[in-house]
Amino acid sequence: MKYVSVLTIAGSDSCGGAGIQADIKTMSALGCYAASAITSITVQNTLGVTAIQAISPDIVAGQIRAVMDDICPKAVKIGMVNDADTIRAIAATLKEYNIGHVITDPVMISTSGTRLMQDDALDVFRTELLPMSTLLTPNVPEAEVLSGMAISGKPSMDNAAMAMLRDGCRALLIKGGHIAGRKTDRLYHAACSGMTSREYVCDDVPTANTHGTGCTLSSAIAAFLALGLTLDEAVGRAKDYVTQALLYGADVETGRGHGPVNHFFDPKKLVKI
């Protein structure tokens, strides 16, 4: 008997609302055992990011290998990766293992507007990580960068999705929070006919506590996949989890800027298999 485990590969957030910290909180709250490989250390709080220190690619690869050789997680979530060499190291290491699900959140720009991925890393990200991903979870600005297209509504989002699927991505969840109106995320699958899509719609939660929502969503999807749900089911359950985490943390002050969501509004016991 063992716990259902998930590995997060991401940067560390010193204020605990995003990155590795949010990933571990999310996976734990949903009943999964969370392991981690830290790609970078950020100096940040709820007001913004002021510095980033990348971890040596060899050390990042070593962390991944140590977890994979021993704990054998059922799913992997990849978050903030700052530079091209680290992306190459992550891709090369993961290719050594038979991994059920790889969820990649292309963290490129922080909520406060800080660029988190170096310019020369983008092409490597497209060629190395994108094709190995079960699911890519960009927000609208990230999808614009990856597709090279402006997105203002559903038709342009569909076009951008098609471009990214042609680059080798198997499935894609474009988060529509940057578009006015009800919050609509669209899940796209590569198909013989081109692509299929499904919408997930939710009402906006009035709160400033939105720090780490992208990290939380992608980690929740990875956790639900590890627990045996289909991709469509995992996305739906993850969306519900983030909405509830926003609601339960809406009126709590943590810092003077964008505070975190409430990851532990309904924590589960670790699931054993």
Active-site residue flag, 213? yes
Which residue in the list 214, 236, 249, 259 is annotated as catalytic? Answer: 214
Name the active-site residue from 39, 46, 137, 210: 210
Active-site annotation holder among 15, 32, 169, 215: 215
Q: How many other β-carbons are positioned within 10 Å of the β-carbon of residue 70?
A: 9
3-state secondary structure of 109: strand
d(CA 40, CA 59): 11
Angstrom CA distances, 252 to 12, 112, 138, stand at: 23, 20, 27
**Quick check: is 175 catalytic?**
yes
Count H helices and E strands in the chain, helices first: 8, 9
Cβ count near 243 (within 10 Å): 18
Is the CB of residue 27 less than 8 Å from the CB of residue 223?
yes
- Identify whether the C-beta of residue 224 lies closer than 8 Å to the C-beta of residue 199: no
Residue type, 75: A
Count CA atoms closer than 13 A to 232's CA, side-chain side: 6
Active-site hit among 25, 74, 77, 175: 175
For 94, the token pair is 């993961």
Catalytic residue among 26, 42, 213, 254: 213
Catalytic residue (one of 11, 31, 212, 259) = 212
Q: Give every CB contact of residue 250 below 8 A, 6+ residues apart in sequence.
A: 205, 206, 207, 209
Q: Is 215 noted as a catalytic residue in this protein?
A: yes
- Catalytic residue list: 175, 210, 212-215
